[in-house]
Each structure stands twice: as structure tokens, then as C-alpha cells.
Amino acid sequence: MTNRKEVAELAGVSEATVSRVLNGIGPMKESTRERVLEAAKRLNYELNAVASSFARGRSGNLGVVLPYVPKVHLFSTYYFSELLSGIGEAVRSKGYGLLLLFRDPTATYDYVSLYRTQRVDACIILGASAIEAELEGINRLAEEELPFCVMDQKFDNPLVSIVAADHEQGSYDAVKHLLDKGLRTIGFLNGSPQYSNSWDRMSGYRRALQEAGIQPDESIMYEGNYSRTSGIQAAKDVHRDLHKMEAIFVSNDRMAIGLMQGLRELGCRLPEELKVVAYDDSDAASLTEPPLTTVKVPFYEMGRLAAERLLDRLTDKGNTESVINERLKTELKVRKSSGN
Amino acid sequence: MTNRKEVAELAGVSEATVSRVLNGIGPMKESTRERVLEAAKRLNYELNAVASSFARGRSGNLGVVLPYVPKVHLFSTYYFSELLSGIGEAVRSKGYGLLLLFRDPTATYDYVSLYRTQRVDACIILGASAIEAELEGINRLAEEELPFCVMDQKFDNPLVSIVAADHEQGSYDAVKHLLDKGLRTIGFLNGSPQYSNSWDRMSGYRRALQEAGIQPDESIMYEGNYSRTSGIQAAKDVHRDLHKMEAIFVSNDRMAIGLMQGLRELGCRLPEELKVVAYDDSDAASLTEPPLTTVKVPFYEMGRLAAERLLDRLTDKGNTESVINERLKTELKVRKSSGN
DNA sequence: TTGTAGGCGTTATCAG
DNA sequence: CTGATAACGCCTACAA
């Protein structure tokens, strides 16, 4: 592999000059610039990224931590591909690399080590939950003031950077939509409590009901784990309680899809017998029968925002506010499942 | 950041010994090993990956090239998340990093440069097509004998490593399934011709028909671009030709979903008026009404296989066969859309 | 089994 | 504007 020295020789300049030209640093005579570029092209030379990283003391990579693979199915793949696309866009436009890090299920992930080993300069944590090990890992990151950002999950620690969607409001909107149609008894199938945004959804649900002067009825609140299977399982209970509710709010599309599937198998006609509002607006939302009324979440934007902020911080451009705390708006997409 | 020197001092050994212990290389006295490990832990020391890479002359990363983002939607996100999960598994188990590379739509991607800049030691190319620029880029890789692998797309060049699924056979099976039900007039909605596997599907379709003594009827062959929208668009033509066919084979689930949606809007009852067999077995396949009979493709396995082979080759373990050429089996999943 | 020392290709600082 | 030159942290013969 040809290196800087050879280019320098061919161009008849010093190695330092080659570096300057290729990095576009400092003033230089146009003629030497051209000579160097010419030589580089002739020799098929390009900067060695590893050597640069080493010299600079930075990897030039943004890490994206993904939950343990099998669990990916708990989230929609839609969620990840949108987030990743957004992150990818930011990363590319800023000339960084995107390192994918799959959480090791066995070892409690030591986030700090990613930085110590210098594999990443910053990282975004997807699918974080509120379990102890996770909390610890993330608090450590905050303590050491490392550049990182958690996606869509709240933490008490004010030093933890977060980009999230406003699920409290999103859920409020969803339930309000049903209330506005004159429906009064509205059930709720929520996802796993280890995610803070499940709690947010619950708050939004309650707020909407209370504002309408309706006392929330615990007997029509159910819990799944965001998987389709858990939606199918919930169908039995929901079917049993069908006389108690006219509609149900479900915390994500996948569960809603499972629920509808299960209900239909139990002979329930949708949306006639039960109106459904779901959450995410994934690709599948418009495929179901009836198509899902659902809350659209700007995953792509969230990914891009988190990455941009993080990378800007590295470049010291936006060094002003070091902790990121963004809450993006959701949007209700009305389709047939809510009875339109 | 603490470095090797400090650990060496604390442990009372040379720096070389520290390296040996941490890399588990060469024979060493158990006592010194322990002393070093102890010191490393005390100082919170971990190997600097960038420095290691630099010294070794390898990045330690496997690159995965993705098509330009907006186009991702042409493939199912299912496809990518499965492939990535498989690749991720292999990469993790072999201690490599996974660098995600989004194709730049503007620049013709210069794959070789990824290696020259030493960003990756090997790479897997997803969503490659048969356009000129792509061909050139890939042939260059082959010429330079760089370790890479193209996913699911054929190339004439025998030096190009490929992991694919046997779509000829998969398509044959799909059509055979319909023939076995006594159906004789079977249409075909294929995807974009710039992907070799579209041609494979066509071959399988024709072979099945010919084996059954049926003359393929060009007037019921349609072309979309693997997107749902293109399926919806095809619905008009298919509906017009409905009297000519009892069934249709569609090259992927997304188009099939669009097609069914479009047909239904035109008043067509499924599967009564038209049997459908699709391709991919994505998550959505079982969500549609009726659920899709479809050909399952082992994307996860394909990803894992490609990555493993590539990384083994780097480690010189399987240096025997340098060109990878694997063709994995597909499997027909029978559901209601084909009229069962 | 362990220590010594050269080298990897840049970056960045200082002179000139 | 350009050239020397010391880091950077680790790997790996080679020696002992």
C-alpha cells in the first residue's frame, strides 16, 4: 500500500506538505497543492484512516448500540431501520463512520469501555431499558462526561443526554381522538414497564380520560411486551371484557396487529365491535385489515438529530449546551381501525 | 487515558509482556499473567483498539455496504434487519467491528478505497445491482483480490464471491405449488431486471410451467420494482387480465401486498378469484388478509455465512478456497393466499 | 519465559 | 508557505 512518503518524493515536497494538502489545512501555494494531488492520484494514494485515527487519538466512529439480536423483534424492525437511516445520514454528512454494536447478552455491557478502547468517539444507545445494569452503565457514561445519547428512554440523571419523542402527548392525542368520536370506555394495552416510554403512554392515556371527566378503569388496562405474540395473548382478556369497552389504545403497532388478529379469530368484527388506535405508524400499519389509526413517531428525525448533536459536540461547534435533551412531536394518522 | 507503559510499571514487567498477556500470546508464567491482569484492572486499562489496529495494519472492521437510504424502502426493511443480525452475530463472535457504509448516491462508490484507507478489512455488499458503475466497482475488488462478498446478486466474473439464495428453485417451488393444485394459468409479477435474482425467478417460473407442459404466456407477465407501490400499480393490469389467469406468482411480499390491496379495491375477492404466491416471508406476510403463501429466504443465515467466511479468510483459517460461492435453500410457506 | 527496540503512517508543533 | 521531527500506543521479531 502506497504511503505518504512515496507521494512526497514523487511530488518533490516534504511529507508534512502532503498531509496539509490532503487535509486542506493551512495556507499553501496552489502549484504545490496541484503537484501533490497529482502525485497522489498517480500512486493511488489515500490517507490511511487508521493511522490518522491513531495520530489524532480518535476513532472517527460513532457507535450505535443495539439490543441483543433476538430481542430486536420486540421492537419493530421499522423502528431500527428508520433510526439507523437517520443516524447514517448525519454520520455520512459529517464524515464519520458508523459502528454497529450488538449488545452482548451474557456480559453486562460496559459502555465506558467502548471509549477506553477508543472504538468510538461517541455513541447512541438504542433500546435502553430501566434494568439495573443498564442504569449503571449509563450513569457511568454520564459521570465520565463522555459524549453519548440515549434514544427514547428517560433517566433521572440530568446529565444523561436524551433524544425522545413526546409519547405522553402522543398517547393523549390518540385517546383524545377516540373521545372526540364520543367513545367513553377506552381500554389500554400497554407495553413492558421497563421502558420509560410505556409510563409516558400511561400518563397520556390517563390525562386524556381525566380531562374528559372519565375515571380510568383499571380492569380494562392490559400489559404486553410490545411483541405481536403478546398482542395475540391479550386478545383473550380483551375479548372477555368486550362488553366493558368501545375502544382500545395499544402501545405499538405490533401488539395492535396481534390483538386484532387474536380478536378476529375469536369472532370479533373490527372496527365495528372495537375501535383500535395504535402507535408507531410502522409500514405494517396500513397493511392490516382494517388499516390502523396510529401515532406516527419521527424515528428518522430522532436518529439524525441525536447523531448530529453528538458529532457537533465532538467538533466543538456546539459546545454551548453539552447535555442533549430533545423531545420530538408525534402525529396521529387516522385510518379505519378507529372507525372512520 | 492510561496506557500500556503505566501498567507495565505497576506490574513490574516490560511493555511487551503486558501486550502478550492481554492478547493471550505465547507462553507465560501464570504469576506474571495474574500480576499484569491485576495491574490492568487497578488502572482501568484496556487495549487501545485504534493503536492496535494501527500496529497490526488492519482496522478490525467488517464493512457492510448499504444502498442509498431512500432506496432501502425498495427492499423490505425485513431483509436488511435479518441480514444485519446475521452478520452482526458472526462479527461479534469473531471479535470484529461492524462498520455500516451507506452508499453515496452522488459519487460512484469506490469500494477499493475502503480498503486503501484501511477503514475495513473486508466487506459485504448488500443491494448490489447490475448497473455499470456497480459492476466496475465490484470487478475492481475482484481484480485486487480483496476480501469481499456480494449478497444475493450474480456476476459473470468467477472471482466475485457471492452468497445467495437459490431463487430459481424457490420460484420453481412456488409455481409448482400452484400447479399441484391443478391451476394451469399462472401469471407472474416480477421485480426490477437490474437484479440478477429477478432473472432467476423468471427462470424458475418458466421451468415449472414447461415441466407441466404449459406454454408460458407473455401477456400475463408483469414488471414492478419490488416496491409496494409498484404492486398497487400492477393491480390495474392484472385485474384487466383476470379472465386469463387463476393464479399469480409475485417476486416479493411487498409487491404482493400492494397487488392484493389494489385488486381488492377493484372489487376482486381473494383468494377466490386469484391465488397468490409471494416471496420473502417477511413479517408482513402473515399479517395480510388472506395471509401470504410465500417463499421463505434464509436472510439471517446468509448474512452470517458471508461474514463468517470472510472473517475466517482474514484469519487464514480457511485459506483453502478463496472465492466464496454459496447458494442457500429457500422454503415454501403455505398460507391462505394460494387458496388453502 | 521475558526484555529490547524498531517500525507502523499520521498529526501537530516549531522553526525557518 | 514549507520542512524537520517528536509524539501516538502497540506489535513483534530477535535476543537473552
pLDDT of residue A191: 96
> pLDDT by residue (tens digit) across B227-261?
999 999 999 999 999 999 999 999 999 999 999 99
pLDDT of residue B283: 85
Determine whether the interchain pair B118/A77 forms a contact, defined as Cβ–Cβ distance below 8 Å.
no
Residue of B207, B219, B218, B273 lying closest to B246 (CA atoms): B273
pTM: 0.92
Instruction: Tell whether the torsion through CA atoms of B37, B45, A60 and A326 is positive or negative.
Output: positive
Whether A61-165+300-328 and A167-297+332-338 share one fold: the answer is: yes
- pLDDT band at residue B317, thresholds of 50, 70 and 90? low
Which chain B residues are Cβ-neighbours of A100 within 8 angstroms? Answer: 84, 88, 98-100
B113 to chain A nearest CA, in Å? 8
* CB of A14 less than 8 A from some CB of B: no
What gap in Å lies between CA A300 and CA B300, rounded to an integer?
24
What architecture does CATH give domain A4-55?
Orthogonal Bundle (1.10)
- Strand segments (E) across chain A: 61-66, 97-102, 122-125, 148-151, 162-165, 186-190, 221-223, 247-250, 275-280, 293-296, 325-328, 331-333
Asked whether residue B73 carries a pLDDT value surpassing 90, the answer given is: no
pLDDT of residue B104: 77
Determine whether the interchain pair A284/B289 forms a contact, defined as Cβ–Cβ distance below 8 Å.
no
Among candidates A61, A81, A289 on the partner chain, residue whose Cβ is nearest the Cβ of B77: A81
pLDDT of residue A28: 85
* CB of A120 less than 8 A from some CB of B: no
Determine whether the interchain pair B287/A288 forms a contact, defined as Cβ–Cβ distance below 8 Å.
yes
Nearest residue in chain A measured CA to CA from B46 = A117
pLDDT of residue A72: 66
Q: Which residue has the cell 468510538?
A: A120
Helix, strand, or coil (residue A241): coil
pLDDT of residue A68: 78
pLDDT of residue B74: 65
Q: Where are the domains of chain A?
A: 4-55, 61-165+300-328, 167-297+332-338
CB-CB neighbours of B235 under 10 Å: 21
pLDDT of residue A171: 98
DSSP A208-277: HHHHTT----GGGEEE--SSHHHHHHHHHHHHHTGGG-SEEEESSHHHHHHHHHHHHHTT--TTTT-EEE
> Residue B303 carries which side chain, given as an amino acid letter?
G
Output the nine-digit C-alpha cell for B127. Answer: 443491494
What gap in Å lies between CA B234 and CA B122, rounded to an integer?
40
pLDDT of residue A71: 65
> pLDDT by residue (tens digit) across B146-190?
999 999 999 999 999 999 999 999 999 999 999 999 999 999 999
What gap in Å lies between CA B161 and CA B256, rounded to an integer?
31
pLDDT of residue A130: 87
Q: Which of A77, A93, A112 has the highest number of chain B CBs within 10 A, making it the mutation to test binding with B? A: A77
* CB of A159 less than 8 A from some CB of B: no
> pLDDT by residue (tens digit) across B183-218?
999 999 999 999 999 999 999 999 999 999 999 999
A170 to chain B nearest CA, in Å? 25
Asked whether residue B90 carries a pLDDT value surpassing 90, the answer given is: yes
CA of A19 to C1' of D9 (A): 21
Among candidates B48, B59, B72 on the partner chain, residue whose Cβ is nearest the Cβ of A118: B48
Determine whether the interchain pair B88/A78 forms a contact, defined as Cβ–Cβ distance below 8 Å.
no
> pLDDT by residue (tens digit) across B108-146?
778 999 999 999 999 999 989 888 888 999 999 999 999
Question: Before B290, cis peptide (omega within 30)?
Answer: yes
DSSP A194-207: TSHHHHHHHHHHHH
Which residues of the protein are close to the nucleic strand D, CB under 7 angstroms?
A 12-17, 20, 26-29, 31-33, 54-55, 57; B 1, 3-5, 15-16, 19-20, 22-23, 25, 47-48, 51-52, 54-56
What architecture does CATH give domain B61-165+300-328?
3-Layer(aba) Sandwich (3.40)
CA of B120 to C1' of C9 (A): 17
Asked whether residue B76 carries a pLDDT value surpassing 90, the answer given is: no
pLDDT of residue B216: 97
What gap in Å lies between CA A323 and CA A330, rounded to an integer?
22
Q: Which nucleotide is nearest to B16 (CA to C1')?
A: C3
CB-CB neighbours of B245 under 10 Å: 19
Q: Which is more confident, A131 or B304?
A: B304
Which chain A residues are Cβ-neighbours of B104 within 8 angstroms? Answer: 92
Residues of chain A with pLDDT under 70: 69, 71-74, 316-321
Determine whether the interchain pair A116/B59 forms a contact, defined as Cβ–Cβ distance below 8 Å.
no
Q: Residue B218 contacts by C-beta under 8 Å, 6 or more apart in sequence?
A: none
Rounded to whole angstroms, what are the CA distances from B184 to B175, B176, B248?
10, 10, 11
* CB of B61 less than 8 A from some CB of A: yes
Q: Which of B6, B22, B50, B109 has the highest number of chain A CBs within 10 A, making it the mutation to test binding with A? A: B50
Q: What is the CATH number of domain A167-297+332-338?
A: 3.40.50.2300
The mean predicted confidence, pLDDT, of chain B is 93
Regarding beta strands B331-333 and B293-296, do their DSSP bridges make them parallel or antiparallel, or are they unpaired? antiparallel
Partner B, chain A 222-251, Cβ-Cβ below 8 Å: none
